[in-house]
Amino acid sequence: MRIGFIGAGHIAAPMARFLASRGHEVTVSRRNAEVSSELAATHAIKVAENQQVVDATETVFLSLRPQIAAGIVEALRFRPEQRIVSVMAGISLGELGRLCAPATDIVSTIPLGFLERGGCPLAACPSAGVLAELFEPENPVVAVPDEAGLNAHFAICALVPGFLDMMDSAAGWLGQRTGDPGKAEFYTTELVSGFLAAMGRREGALSHARDALATEGTISLQMTAALRERGVHDALRDALDAIEARLGRG
């Protein structure tokens, strides 16, 4: 398939590499000269101007910062049969329809960079079709029936840097006690990533694993109880609500 990317940043580049490695003909825009040059050198990905990307491809990924997207996309000329994939949170499907007309086959999603290695879930609205075709089975596609549900999934994506921020604080605490920040970060990261990898993916696995650790009298229960008492979970839900509302206003 001939696939194009308008934008070549930290979200688009892993997707472009993934698709090129699976035999698709990929073209990216010159917007990020350093990244596009690296993609051309390492994965034989073509580099072109924005309109040339659209003209040369069947499926176009839009990966631009939301605050500049409209001015760039509305200047492009799309074809009715083209498929459009937006990876821009906060740009509604209605707005995308206006910007990408006469193209009407439009889907919105947002990945994280580890998609390139597989295992990255992709929430997709209004259908999973093109994303499943391009990224499964390595990356599972989760079809979401409406934009409200999609925005809620996008809010959960923002949980990842929040969780990393907490891990960084914990690793810093450990490093202060041991005098070796590098080993403290290694230990913290390996501990959490190893546990998640071994936990399994069945429904209820999160609460089951938590309860198996946080039993009466344990330091695990002391930790979970302290976080709840200090309102950490309430703060998390408030942040998710605020992000969901912000995306809904887009």
Higher pLDDT, 8 or 156: 156
Please write the tens of the pLDDT for every residue from 132-157.
999 999 999 999 989 999 999 999 99
Domains belonging to the chain, first-starting first, are 2-145 (3.40.50.720), 159-249 (no CATH)
Compute the distance between CA of residue 240 and CA of residue 155 in angstroms, rounded to an integer.
6
Q: What are phi and psi of 144, to 5 degrees?
A: -120, 130
Q: Tell me how far apart the alpha carbons of residues 88 and 98 are, in angstroms, rounded to a whole number.
A: 15
List the end-to-end C-alpha distance of the chain, in Å, as a whole number. 31
What are the pLDDT digits (tens) for 174-208?
Answer: 999 999 999 999 999 999 999 998 988 889 999 99
On whether the CB atoms of residues 62 and 87 are closer than 8 A, the answer is yes
pTM of the model: 0.86
Question: Which residues contact residue 194 at a Cβ distance below 8 angstroms, ignoring those fewer than 6 apart?
Answer: none
Query: Whose structure tokens read 């990408």?
Result: 100
